Structure 1
Amino acid sequence: MSRYLLCLLLLVAGPGICLHSAAQTPGSPADTTHKYQTAPAGPAQPRRPIWQSKVVRATIVPALLIGYGASTIHGHGLYSSYDAKRDIRRAFGTYRTHVDDYLQWSPYFEVAGVLLAGVESRDDRLNLALVVLKSEAVMFSTVFLVKTLTHVQRPDSSDHMSFPSGHTAQAFMAASIVHTEFRDKSPWYGIGAYTLATSVAAFRMINNKHWESDVVAGAGVGILSAHLAYLSHRNRWGRQPRGRDIGVVPLWSPAGGAGLSVTWHPK
């Protein structure tokens, strides 16, 4: 009697709480037959076409420049080196200058100036220096080897070390580094560097030190050297730039004249 009274009270308080023990059924056991089965693999990722690989993208433009330069040696090609020399001599005569001897290093001065202005490069100072050293080693060895093997005479007949142009390779290698390091900040850094490198190539032909084929192939060798250095480089010191907390800004005032403002925020 007391048991039925208790059930009645429980049903009033909350229906369904009181259940007859005979009506209770044990729960179904968990399915463990597939416990260690490997989950089905997702859809296979499509392979990137070969023309979109890093190696192809890094070498396609230098290969075209080197190939075109080689095709115009002497009197070959649609617009040969002889044709280019004839037109340059008509336009500039006997004009000569040594500005290209200094201008070939100008992209490096651009790097220094941009960094001092506080603009962040892609790599820190140490890794940037390593990339530069590696690029220089690849470029210098390649230029010297090809010059020795091809034995092309210069337009002024001074020697047989004409192809490719070392000055042009140096300038375009440095310009490629500028473009890679600062293209995320502004494309104008790379445009300025490549403009300087192109002027070096023009002056080498105006000075009658190189053929058209030499400067075009030299540009390809320079760009390729920088690209190979980046492709083979492993950044082992982190990608945070060092020394980015240093800034130098030119100042001028009527009272104090010209000067420089140097800021330093130590970490």
Structure 2
Amino acid sequence: MRSRLLSYLTAFFLLASSIAPAYAQVPMAPAADTTKKYANPSGIPAPVKKPIFKSKLFKAVAIPAVLITYGAITAQGDAGVNRDARTFVQKQFRPVSTTFDNTFIFLPYLELAAVAVAGVESRNDRINTLLIIAKGEAIMLASTFAVKYLANETRPNGADNLSFPSGHTSQAFLAASIVHTEFRDKSQWYGIGAYTIATSVAALRMINDKHWQSDVVAGAGFGILSAHLAYLSHRNRWGRKSIGRDIGMTPAYFGNGASGVSISWRPKK
């Protein structure tokens, strides 16, 4: 009986000695830090500040700033890259009718209207889109013509001193940027078509010897920047409800041999 008891005690001490080191290796939990428990009593985590290159403002001005800066640096009149570009254009192309320059600047807006009438959902409703266009036009005209008078750059053909930046190019790229923003969620091809038209306007201004290369590059920057600032500052969305989506066109006969098209419009609630 005694030997059995000694055996039990020996086994117990051996087991206890094997378990004790395992418990000794478990680290003690550190005491909770209560020094800042009243720093945020509501328990709402502080907002994480985004890097500046991810902010909306940086994305809005980055590309236009590069274009405008390049145009300003190279705006040297008949010298440098301006002279080289003008020489190349004059060797490759002949001047064309200026009516194309004056007409093409509004073609992106015509594309915008055509796509909207076709029933493609845009980013904003009709009223808000018109407000953005009006705001973008105001920003573009004010900035472009202010810089024109301050820069006092002579045109290649010597017509006047309002060469830098190109107002036609600014107008075309403003309209193209609005088309791209309104329909980029549907298809990138709408924006590609609009920017192709705007680039054609810039090329025509150089072909017709109305602007230097620096003028059209900076003009593109001013147009894009105006559109981005118009969207960035736009707040009057009125719930973003659809207005006038139901538009239909049907052939019509008005009598006395007169025929035409009947347009029906029904606003949605």
Which string of whole-angstrom CA distances, capped at 9 and with x for unpartnered residues, describes residues 80-116 of structure 1?
1111001001111455542011000101101110111
2:126 counterpart residue number: 125
Assess if the C-alpha contact under 8 Å between 2:243 and 2:267 holds in 1: no
Confirm or deny that 1:84 pairs with 2:85: yes
- Once the two structures are superposed, residues 196-248 of structure 1 have per-residue CA deviations (whole angstroms, 9 ceiling, x without a partner) of 00000000000000000000000000000111111111124220120012145
Which of the residues 56, 59, 78 maps onto 2:58? 56
Residue 164 of structure 1 is matched in structure 2 by 165
Tell me: CA distance 1:71–1:45, structure 2 relative to 1, closer, same or farther (3 Å).
same
Q: Structure 1 residues 93, 122: CA separation in 2 closer, same or farther (over 3 Å shift)? A: closer
- The 1:124–1:40 alpha-carbon spacing in structure 2 relative to 1, beyond 3 Å, is closer
The equivalent residue for 1:238 is 239
Give deviations 1:158-213, integer Å, cap 9, x for gaps: 00000000000000000111111111111111111001000000000000000000
1:183 and 2:184 matched = yes
Where 2:240 maps in the other structure, the secondary structure is coil
Indicate conservation of the 8 Å contact 2:245/2:266, yes or no: no
Q: Distance in 2 between matches of 1:132 and 1:221?
A: 14
Q: Provide TM-score, normalisation by structure 1.
A: 0.76
Q: What corresponds to 1:223 in structure 2? A: 224
Match of 1:9 in 2: none
- The residue matched to 2:102 in structure 1 has which SS? helix
- CA positional deviation for 1:260: 6.4
* Kept after mapping to 2: 8 A contact 1:135/1:226: yes
Q: Which amino acid aligns with 1:164?
A: P
1:261 deviates by 8.4
For residues 188 and 235 of structure 1, the distance between their equivalents in structure 2, rounded to whole angstroms, comes to: 28
Gaps of 5+ in 2: 1-37, 252-259
Which amino acid in structure 2 is aligned with residue 60 of structure 1? A
Question: Kindly, what percent of the aligned residue pairs are identical?
Answer: 58
When the two structures are aligned, how many residues end up with a matched partner?
223
Matching residue's letter, 1:82: R
Aligned residue type for 2:187: S
Say if 2:73 is the partner of 1:71: yes
| Greater helix fraction, Structure 1 or Structure 2 | 2
Instruction: State the distance in 1 between where 2:235 and 2:244 align.
Output: 20
State how far apart, in whole Å, the 1-side matches of 2:82 and 2:250 are.
45
Give the whole-Å Cα distance in 1 for the aligned partners of 2:232 and 2:179.
16
Match of 1:194 in 2: 195
- Could you say which residue in structure 1 is the equivalent of 2:24? none
- The one-letter amino acid of 1:137's match is A
Evaluate the alpha carbon distance shift between residue 138 and residue 218 of structure 1 in structure 2; reply closer, same or farther with a 3 A threshold: same
Contact preservation (8 Å) 1:131, 1:233: yes
Partners of 2:162 and 2:211 in 1: CA distance: 10
8 Å contact from structure 2 (residues 206, 212) kept in 1: yes
